[in-house]
């Protein structure tokens, strides 16, 4: 549904957003990896 091959600020926003947290977790392991990357790089966006 979403193409997250290249992580961008928009992608990080969608992944960081609480509404998407469960969805991303259930989507796939790849997205879960981006989720972790989002947490690590959260300071750059927020």
1-46 pLDDT, tens digit per residue, is 455 455 566 666 665 555 555 555 556 666 656 666 666 655 444 3
Tell which phi-psi region holds residue 11, choosing left (phi > 0), alpha (psi between -120 and 50) or beta: alpha
Specify the pTM.
Answer: 0.21
Q: Whose CA is closest to 4, among 34, 44, 27, 36?
A: 34
Do 15 and 46 touch, CB atoms closer than 8 A?
no
| Structure tokens given for 34 | 């981006």
Which pLDDT score, from 0 to 100, does residue 1 have?
A: 46
């Amino acid at each position: 549904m979403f193409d997250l091959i290249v992580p961008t600020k928009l992608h990080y926003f969608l992944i960081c957003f609480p509404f998407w947290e469960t969805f991303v977790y259930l989507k796939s392991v790849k997205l879960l990896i981006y989720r972790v990357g989002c947490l690590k790089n959260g300071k750059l966006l927020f």
